[in-house]
């Protein structure tokens, strides 16, 4: 019987209705998005003035180059890895190849590079001082100024000579590059980089006062700018390619290089384009908040609302409200810091939990199911609190407070019916 049911299910299944969890395509896209988002953060530095950068050049010799006001460059490579996998070790081919590429580039363009940067969303192995510990190896090399005087069995000497052998360069040339190389591990999921772009944006003058939806839109536009700069895109008047006497190949190369450059004016143009946003927090931010920023699984809340007899329209609507409240928490984090944001978040939840308990006490007297009556009573109470206690609620709108009720429901702090086993499907 079970085999017949599975066979029948396979017959009615369609590829557009079944999620292929083994398809690596979305993971690959997320890794590229991480690199583009990281480039966008560095493009934002063109506005904030951090690092004295004047230009970001994408996918040219390295993942991207940072050019400063002295005409020197910082070469950067981005490596991503699932956070559940082990940290990067110095001897891994992915690491030694990246460092070898730095060394070769340094020799190809002498005196052009101020430094090199190896960045990952993950982290670097640092359990002991050995050939696997890249931060220790690079730090030791900087302190010594090279490998001169080290014994042949020294891990540091062996590491430098290994890269020299792979690249065909001298150990002295390799040392000179590695001394100017830094490593940066962020120990975060690849998907978290999106909120980092928004946080960096809020350091730009006048941006942190903008509505969250506007900041999120600007952030996405800047990531898209970096994505386009990472592609082979011509940038310049088409007439240049048809001017008599022009070297067409050189003209195309010049426009391709221009397409890879992001300057301060490019970033300002995007910010200014979206600055005329609404003077309030948009409620429908489902397209602006990613699953890593807000809860995507609200099945427990849905089951509890359904068990209480709450109407389908209200149940479906609660997810947008939860996302809106979580987005507001992100905005508070960017404006006031994580500690203050957590304090505000907890204060709002405490107020909503009190009002939910009062609404529950009144509604259950009418007999089961009482979820619908409780929802109506809670909505009225929260509208009144939002109107009368705006300061205590940090300016939250009623929709944000309903979202807070959804969060409390998901975490079993608020019930819309007598308690039951939430692992079972609600009718």
HEC per residue, the chain: CHHHHHHHHHHHCCCCCCCCCCCCHHHHHHHHHHHHHHHHHHHHHHHHCHHHEEEEEEEECEEEEEEECCCCEEEEEEECCCCCCCCECCCCHHHHHHHHHHHHHHHHCCCCEEEEEEEECCCECCCCCCCCCHHHHHHHHHHHCCCCCCCCCCHHHHHHHHHHHHHCCCHHHHHHHHCCEEEEECCCCHHHHHHHHHHHHCCCCCCCCCCHHHHHHHHHHHHHHHHHHCCCCCCCCHHHHHCCCCCHHHHHHHHHHHHHEEEHHHHHHHHHHHCCCCCCCCCCCCCCCCCCCCCCCCHHHHHHHHHCCCCHHHHHHHHHHHHHHHHHHHHHHHHHCHHHHHHHHHHHHHHHHHHHHHHHHHHHHHCCCCHHHHHHHHHHHHHHHHHHCCCCCCCCCHHHHHHHHHHHHHCCCCCCCCCCCCCCCCC
Q: How confident is the model at residue 278 (pLDDT cuts 50, 70, 90)?
A: very low
The answer on pLDDT for 18 being more than 70 is no
Mean pLDDT of 22-29: 66
pLDDT at 337: 82
The answer on pLDDT for 338 being more than 60 is yes
Mean predicted lDDT score pLDDT of the chain = 84
pLDDT at 93: 94
pLDDT at 422: 66
pLDDT at 102: 97
pLDDT digits (tens, 9 = 90+) for 379-400: 999 999 988 888 888 889 888 9
pLDDT digits (tens, 9 = 90+) for 83-119: 889 999 999 999 999 999 999 999 999 999 999 999 9
The answer on pLDDT for 280 being more than 50 is no
The answer on pLDDT for 332 being more than 60 is yes
Structural domain boundaries in the chain: 299-410
The answer on pLDDT for 358 being more than 90 is yes
Cα gap 278→210, rounded to integer Å: 8
Query: Which of the two residues, 284 and 410, has the higher pLDDT score?
Result: 410
Per-residue b/e over 289-310, b at no fewer than 16 CB within 10 Å? beeebbbeebeebbbbbbbbbb
pLDDT at 189: 87
């Amino acid at each position: 019987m079970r085999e017949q049911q599975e066979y029948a299910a396979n017959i009615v299944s369609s590829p557009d209705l079944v999620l292929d969890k083994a398809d690596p395509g979305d993971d690959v896209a997320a890794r590229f998005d991480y690199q583009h988002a990281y480039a966008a953060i560095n493009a934002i530095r063109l506005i904030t003035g951090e690092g004295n950068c004047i230009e970001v050049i994408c996918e040219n010799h390295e993942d991207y180059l940072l050019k400063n006001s002295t005409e020197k460059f910082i070469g950067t490579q981005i490596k991503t890895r699932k956070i559940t996998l082990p940290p990067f070790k110095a001897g891994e081919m992915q690491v030694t190849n990246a460092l070898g590429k730095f060394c070769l580039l340094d020799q190809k363009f002498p005196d052009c590079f101020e430094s090199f940067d190896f960045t990952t969303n993950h982290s670097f192995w640092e359990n002991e001082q050995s050939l696997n510990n890249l931060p220790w190896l690079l730090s030791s090399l900087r302190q010594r100024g090279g490998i001169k005087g080290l014994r042949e069995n020294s891990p540091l000497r062996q590491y430098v000579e290994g890269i020299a052998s792979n690249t065909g360069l001298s150990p002295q040339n390799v040392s000179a590059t590695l001394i100017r190389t830094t490593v940066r591990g962020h120990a975060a999921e690849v998907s978290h980089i999106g909120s980092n772009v928004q946080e960096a944006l809020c350091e730009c003058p006048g941006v942190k006062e903008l509505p969250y939806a506007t900041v999120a839109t600007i952030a996405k536009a800047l990531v898209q700018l970096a994505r386009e700069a990472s592609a082979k895109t011509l940038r310049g008047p088409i007439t240049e390619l048809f001017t008599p006497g022009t070297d067409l190949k050189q003209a195309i190369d010049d426009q391709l290089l221009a397409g890879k450059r992001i300057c301060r004016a490019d970033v300002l143009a995007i910010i200014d384009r979206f600055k005329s946003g609404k003077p309030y927090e948009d409620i429908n931010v489902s397209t602006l908040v990613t699953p890593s920023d807000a809860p995507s699984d609200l099945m427990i809340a849905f089951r509890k609302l359904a068990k209480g007899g709450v109407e389908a329209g209200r149940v479906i609507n609660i997810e947008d409200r939860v996302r809106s409240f979580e987005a507001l928490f992100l905005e508070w984090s960017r404006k006031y810091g994580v500690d203050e944001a957590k304090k505000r978040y907890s204060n709002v939840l405490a107020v909503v939990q009190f009002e939910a308990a009062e609404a529950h006490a009144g509604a259950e007297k009418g007999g089961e199911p009482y979820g619908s009556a409780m929802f109506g009573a809670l909505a009225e109470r929260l509208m009144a609190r939002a109107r009368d206690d705006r300061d205590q609620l940090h300016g939250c709108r009623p929709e944000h407070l309903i979202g807070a009720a959804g969060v409390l429901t998901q975490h079993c702090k608020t019930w819309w019916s007598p308690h039951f086993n939430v692992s079972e499907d609600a009718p």
